Amino acid sequence: MSQKTPTIAIRLLGFSAKEEDTFSTVLAVAREKGYSYACLKQGSLQDPDAYIVNAEDLKAIATLSDINPGEAQPVLLVGKTDISLPYRVMPRPIRWRSLFDILDEMIDRRQLLLTTLSAYNEVAVPERRRSKRLDLDLTNPVDYQKMRRTGPLPGGILIVDKDNRFREYVAMIMDRYNVSVTLALDERSAMMLDRNNRHALTMINTSTQDVDPYHLCGELKQQGADGKSIVIFLIDRSFNYNVAEASKVACDGYLNKPLSRKLVLQTIQKFLHLES
């Protein structure tokens, strides 16, 4: 195992807020040997390196089936399940030392896979069409609808920022897709531009002076009666992403700055359903 590896990002599915806090605290502990781990916070749009899933939560299992992660995103199920799934299972109560051992083993295999794929110039992505989705009866149809991948309205990208450089950066990335990228300097211009030309995706730099990202997000969502437009925040460490407030205005998540080209492109491809 390499001694110098990036922190492994873990996505938790189906756990209570208390359990998520426990996982985050335990996995963040510095270790002399093995990998470093960090749990992605709610709302983060960063792709995880691995998943830890509550096997006793039906909606979590359904979400996992919908995501259908590839081999490069290993999954650990915690608890009992009556559904046969091709993932590693760890019983409760959780023994944290054993959890780290299992995670280290899974990430070792992941690293080897990525190295092999890189050597052959292949990309490890979920192969969604090769496996059937689980036929699960979710009690709340609204939850099922949220998990369905409905395409956004046709339209370009709106960047809310005082600086034009990020707009130019995104425009350069989107040039091959013929997707327009527009700049709005404040809330008023953002609303006007979106009213005149509905955008599929709006990216709000939360550092933009005189812009309340939550208020603007709510206004943009209300302005789009169909509710299909996507709004995400671009945040830095000084910004406290309030999950409850973001949920209230239907924010679709956030990206941490500084932003890599790969993450920007992956996020836009995901929401606009562009081919890679």
- What pLDDT is stored for residue 249 in this prediction? 95
Confidence at residue 130, expressed as pLDDT on a 0 to 100 scale: 43
What pLDDT does residue 235 have? 95
Cα distance between residue 221 and residue 6, in whole Å: 36
Give the burial string for 34-49 (b: 16+ CB within 10 Å, else e): bbebebbeebbbbbbb
Q: Which residues of the chain have pLDDT under 50?
A: 1-4, 124-132, 144, 147, 149-153
Say what the pLDDT of residue 65 is.
Answer: 86
Find all residues with CB under 8 Å of 271, minimum gap 6, and list them: 152, 200, 201, 230, 232, 252
CATH number for 150-272: choose from 1.20.1090.10, 3.30.420.40, 3.40.50.2300, 3.40.50.2000.
3.40.50.2300
Q: Where are the domains of the chain?
A: 8-145, 150-272
Nearest 5°: phi and psi at 73? Answer: -125, 75
Task: Give the pLDDT of residue 129.
Answer: 39
pLDDT of residue 153: 42
Calculate the CA dihedral of residues 179, 224, 271, 39 and round it to 10 degrees: 140
Question: Residue 74 CB: number of other CB atoms within 10 A?
Answer: 24
Topology of the domain comprising 8-145:
Rossmann fold (3.40.50)
Give pLDDT, residue 137: 53
pLDDT of residue 151: 42
Quote the DSSP letter at residue 144: H
The Cα–Cα gap between 134 and 24 comes to: 29
Shortest CA distance to 275 belongs to which of 166, 176, 156?
Answer: 176
